[in-house]
Chain A
Amino acid sequence: MSLELGSVSVSYDGAPAIADVDLTLPDGQVLAVLGPSGSGKSTLLRAVAGLEPTTSGTIAWDGQDLAHIPTHKRGFALMFQDGQLFGHLTVAANVAYPLRLRHVASAARRERVSELLDLVGLTGYERRLPGTLSGGERQRVALARALAVEPRLLLLDEPLSALDASLRERLAADLRRILVAAGTTALLVTHDQEEAYAVADRLAVVRDGRLVQEGPVGDVWAHPADAETALFLGYARVLEGTAAVIVAAAGGLDPQEGTSTTVRPLAVRRSAIVLDDTGPLAGEVVAARATPDQLRLVVDVDGVGEVDAVAASVAHVGPGERVRLRVDQARLSILP
């Protein structure tokens, strides 16, 4: 049981939105398709749902080509960015909608609806109308409704991005818990790397309509395929040449290993370089900005140039001061 995409392309009026995407999603896993807005990731999702005809390539489930199967017969469920609850139906009727389509008896339907509402943490919301719910509650109802389908595959289109930051964080953890509890295979589309990290098992990075990288979340995170992907995944800078060699060496890595002549680029997370009086690097603070957790610095490191660094928020350093820095190896990545 798995979803397989074989060199799928979709174009609008001749302009390609996605091109030659190959993907496999094994049963029971959650795959996040991550990409900046306009990268074609939503088009990919709509193509899988059958809402967008493919220009070429195959989308198959368990080896069965889905090309001529309309959306409603695919057995998938799609949850939209803004939920798309039916405004004229109550919460219970919204969740029961797919059950009604399948002529589930009313007693069984009621039971299943309250089960699903329990699962998403909205016990007792049956009689409310969507208009009276908060954004987070609406998304939970939409999720319950999608799960009511018992879909072979759950498609989630930016499920949390319409919510505010704190709610998003909490709901991401809930979403992960709910998907694991239900054992659902899911394809999640998002532009928010933290959302992808919190919810998914696997990560596929899409850029300009092409699949750039795919693999388990941790792997993709630790080894971005190229500089642009690294920056998109939250790495602060990508260093090259001597700068890469010096910072890597300070972190105990060698960007030249194997190939002694060429230096591979080094992706550095913001938190990889830390203020430390005993650290191997030295430099002059260019800018400092306080955040609740830490002090964010830009330091002109000798022989390297400007890099981002962090310090404990109790540290008192200002522009012009000379500081020493250490490098955290786990937060570096040597790019291919």
Chain B
Amino acid sequence: MERRHLALIALAAIPVTVLAIFFVLPVTGMVGRGFRPEGHWDLVGVLDVLKRPRVHRVLWFTVWSSAVATSLTLVLGLPAAYVLHRLAFPLRRLVRAALLVPFVLPTVVVGVAFRELLTGPLAWLDLDGTPAAIIAGLVFFNVAVVIRAVGAAWESLDHRPAEAAAALGAGPWAVFRTVTLPALRPAIVGAASVVFLFCATAFGVVLTLGGLRYASVETEIYLLTTNLLDLQGAAALSILQLAVVTLLLAIGARLRPTPTAVTRVPPRPRRPRLADLPQILVTVALLAFVAAPILALVVGSLKDADGHWTMANYRALNTLGTHQALVEPVTTALDLSLRIAIDATLLSVLLGLLVALSVTRRAHTRAERRVRGALDALFMLPLGVSAVTLGFGFLVTLGRPPLNFRDSPWLVPIAQALVALPLVVRTLVPALQGIDDRQRQAAASLGAGPLRRLVVVEVPVLFRPVLAAAGFAFAVSLGEFGATSFLARDENATLPVVIFRLIGHPGPMNYGMALAASCVLAATTAAVMLVVERVRAPLLGGVL
């Protein structure tokens, strides 16, 4: 066996082991329970699940609401991507950063903010609890993905083909349709498939805004698992979801923009013209759409049940709420959330680095390339598996010997690290792929050993992406709700879990406290994201 293979195995061993124990085992254990309810295989029962009318409704709702949300996200995101990445105007970077914030806001916070908006200032629209509210929440959440991915492609787009078309008599619309759009298509389709994926697997937003009336596959898994203890149904839906998500990821991977060696002449952003007015108006509308729920949340948190201005909601954060809604005060939960987030960030960045290094090394044989490709795909899987399945799987498989982690303080950080891992890997891999292999060869020819080469070639390139990935993982961990809601116990609940508990408990102070706690959580994640934005590192390297 060659040294190169040994190096690959050594690098990949740790992340693969972690993934096997903390992801594959819980998920298969969970799904296995559904397939073998009484210790023997029952495939018919699983297939029967897919014939239930309620399952059909849930599937149909998931598909159409995700499709509508994805289309709306594109309609709003494309003009904004153009305005924010092709036009020059004051405060451009600030606006870009602001539009990124919703993507990292905890889903529970987004849900709470939209409910506050739709029951408060916009109550006359009568949208609370409707599919429209869920779709608005999904669009709010995902528009940053389109702006980022398509904007980055648009920004680096060579302007000369468009000029050539204009010089051949094509008007602005014809240029867009025949030249710009085909060039952007991979980025758009890639972003759309990712957005669809996020919409179809959204949990917190749908649960808080849809309640029991409108369920997606993800919330239905939650409902079947926790309320109805129908593991067979949950397993069937989990498998279905995994299959669909894997398919979407495969499509996304095929369309992922490959770094090309073609020299491009990216244009300088130019001043807005009158012709740009429609796009600018859409962007302003988008800003208003993004700002409205956040503003409603902040305003709501500063008012008491009678509508008077007060700081009482914030002062109450160190209490247990009305009717003892909580076991520990919100401040304790915040403290715990931050500590867990640090652990989860360290874990996911460490694992992500190992994965990224092992999948980006140039393969010398076809078999080796296949192994590296398979590894890359394997670590995308957590994106496709319902966090609920993962969380519940932890409970059923890791709660007894020989793997008794039930009471380990590492359980929650590990689960959150796995949820963040795909995003970390997708941020690091493009940066490593961008390194010209000849740089390593040049370093080697100058007498640098493997470790020295890593320090000279990889580390300078990875510095910013690692910071970005860390910030990203931190934000994801702070807001993670699906898996954590299973694993966190009452006395050591994280902030999103506490917020969800506060919404569920009646009592005027509890709702106010939920709003205030959401504000604190949102401010914390937004602050982390703004720091990431300042290091100017490319998030997700374009598209997932």
Please give the residue numbers on chain A whose beta carbons come within 8 Å of chain B beta carbons, in ascending order.
49-51, 70-73, 75-78, 80, 84, 86, 88, 97-98, 101-102, 145-146, 148-149, 155
Contacts and interface: CB of A to CB of B under 8 A. Distances in A.
B170 A78 contact: no
Contacts of A70: 166, 171
A149 B164 contact: no
B161 interface: yes
Interface stretch (B174-182, B286-294, B519-527): B174-182
22 contacts: A49-B167, A51-B166, A51-B167, A70-B166, A70-B171, A71-B163, A71-B166, A72-B169, A72-B170, A76-B167, A77-B167, A77-B169, A80-B163, A80-B164, A84-B160, A84-B163, A86-B178, A88-B182, A88-B183, A97-B165, A101-B170, A149-B169
Interface in B412-443: none
Most buried by A among B160, B168, B172, B182: B168
A102 B169 contact: yes
Nearest to A51: B163
A5 B97 CA distance: 46
Interface in B113-168: 160-161, 163-168
Contacts of B160: 80, 84
Contacts of B183: 88
Nearest to B175: A72
A60 B174 CA distance: 25
A97 B161 CA distance: 12
A76 B164 CA distance: 11
B178 to A, nearest CB: 7
Contacts of A101: 168-170, 174
Contacts of A155: 167
Nearest to B159: A51
A148 B167 CA distance: 12
A51 B167 CA distance: 9
- The 6 nearest A-B residue pairs measured at CB: A78-B167, A84-B164, A71-B166, A98-B168, A72-B166, A88-B182
B53 to A, nearest CB: 45
Given A49-B167, A70-B166, A86-B164, 18 more contacts: A51-B166, A72-B170, A73-B171, A75-B169, A80-B163, A84-B160, A84-B164, A86-B179, A97-B170, A98-B168, A98-B170, A101-B168, A101-B169, A101-B170, A102-B169, A145-B168, A149-B169, A155-B167
Given A86-B179, A97-B178, A101-B174, A149 B161 contact: no
B162 to A, nearest CB: 9
Interface string B207-229: 00000000000000000000000
Interface residues of B, number: 18
B467 to A, nearest CB: 33
Given A84-B160, A86-B161, A88-B182, A97 B168 contact: yes
A8 B161 CA distance: 26
B148 to A, nearest CB: 24
A51 B168 CA distance: 12
A86 to B, nearest CB: 6
Contacts of B179: 86
Contacts of A88: 182-183
B168 A77 contact: yes
A167 B187 CA distance: 38
B266 to A, nearest CB: 15
Interface in B177-207: 178-179, 182-183
Contacts of B182: 86, 88
Interface string B246-262: 00000000000000000
Contacts of B169: 72-73, 75, 77, 98, 101-102, 149
A90 B171 CA distance: 21
User: In this complex, which of A49, A88, A149, A155 has the most chain B Cβ atoms within 10 angstroms of its Cβ?
Assistant: A88
B171 A78 contact: no
B163 A78 contact: yes
B163 A149 contact: no
A261 B527 CA distance: 81
A181 B167 CA distance: 22
Contacts of B166: 50-51, 70-72
Contacts of A49: 163, 167
A78 B166 CA distance: 9
B279 to A, nearest CB: 17
B163, B167, B171, B179 interface centre (most CB from chain A within 10 Å): B167
A70 B162 CA distance: 13
B315 to A, nearest CB: 55
Contacts of B178: 86, 97
Contacts of B163: 49, 51, 71, 78, 80, 84
B270 to A, nearest CB: 10
A78 B174 contact: no
Contacts of B174: 72, 101
A207 to B, nearest CB: 25
Given A86-B179, A88-B182, A97-B178, A72 B164 contact: no
